[in-house]
Amino acid sequence: MKIALIGYGKMGKTIERLAIARGHEITEKFSQFNPFLNANSVNADIAIEFTEPNLVKEHIEHCCKLNLPVVVGTTAWYADFEEISQSVLKHNASLFYATNFSLGVNLFFEANKYMAKLMSNYPEYSCNIEEIHHTEKKDAPSGTAITTAEGIIENHAGYNGWDLSNKNDKSIHIEALRLPKVPGTHHVFYESEIDKITLSHEAKSRDGFALGSIVAAEWLLLKKGVFTMKDLLKFDN
């Protein structure tokens, strides 16, 4: 499979290393020095995009114009999701997106939903989320933390939103911490006056995120439409 990398920072370089190890070829490397939007054609079967939220919409639209399937790992662009999704479908194009491509994180998401259903029966436990990422991460809270909060809100009768301020009893408080050299750690806490239950996921490196995006690209290659990790992992089946 020929892969175009849209974004060639630390994540792009990790994807390159793992993709080559899986027998794929990196044919294009786009960055601020070689902008993807300047490309009139791309010698690739598929693109993997890890850049910045303000660039995602134009990058996906350009992929649609070039008939280039794209896997998007950038987060914090979801306010434009409906518009982008309609554009992808209109062009009969292919988009795979996720707030996190790690298999472990997606298992964590499913365990989190199940835990929320259980804890909904025990209002004496309050819930909050803590997420820790590297200091270079620009969005806070992380997309993973937001997805975690949404999983709780969908399954727990006691919560109808999330916030960073901890001022609303019906909202899940998210504590977003930024520390050097932390790939990503997420904790869900349920705490009462007598004990505390913790559900956690800790990434050891970027490799899990990078490998997941490559597996998503392999899965997406001959498909049309808009997909996410639920489609790939078939958790609902």
168-214 pLDDT tens trace = 889 999 999 999 988 899 999 999 999 999 999 999 999 999 999 99
Q: Which of 2, 91, 113, 137 is the catalytic position?
A: 137
* Tokens found for residue 55: 């660039």
Residue 157 tokens, joined: 């009768």
> How many Cβ atoms sit within 10 Å of the Cβ of residue 189?
17
Return the half-sphere exposure (C-beta side, CA atoms, 13 A cut-off) of residue 166.
9
Beta bridge partners of residue 70, listed in sequence order: 47, 95
Query: CA separation (Å) from 23 to 2, 18, 20, 222?
Result: 10, 9, 5, 18
User: Which residue in 24, 59, 62, 133 is the catalytic one?
Assistant: 133
The answer to pTM > 0.75 is yes
Q: Which CATH number fits domain 2-101+207-233: 3.60.21.10, 3.40.50.720, 3.10.20.30, 3.65.10.10?
A: 3.40.50.720
129-156, pLDDT tens digit by residue?
999 998 888 788 998 999 999 999 999 9
CATH code reported for the domain at 103-202:
3.30.360.10
Task: Look up 133 and say whether it is catalytic.
Answer: yes
| Neighbouring residues of 105: CB distance < 8 A, sequence distance ≥ 6 | 144, 184, 186, 201, 203, 208
Per the listing, tokens 């434009």 go with 80
Each domain of the chain, given as residue ranges in start order, spans 2-101+207-233, 103-202
The two most distant CA atoms of the chain are separated, in Å, by 62
Beta strands 196-202 and 185-191: pairing type?
antiparallel
Annotated catalytic residue 196: no
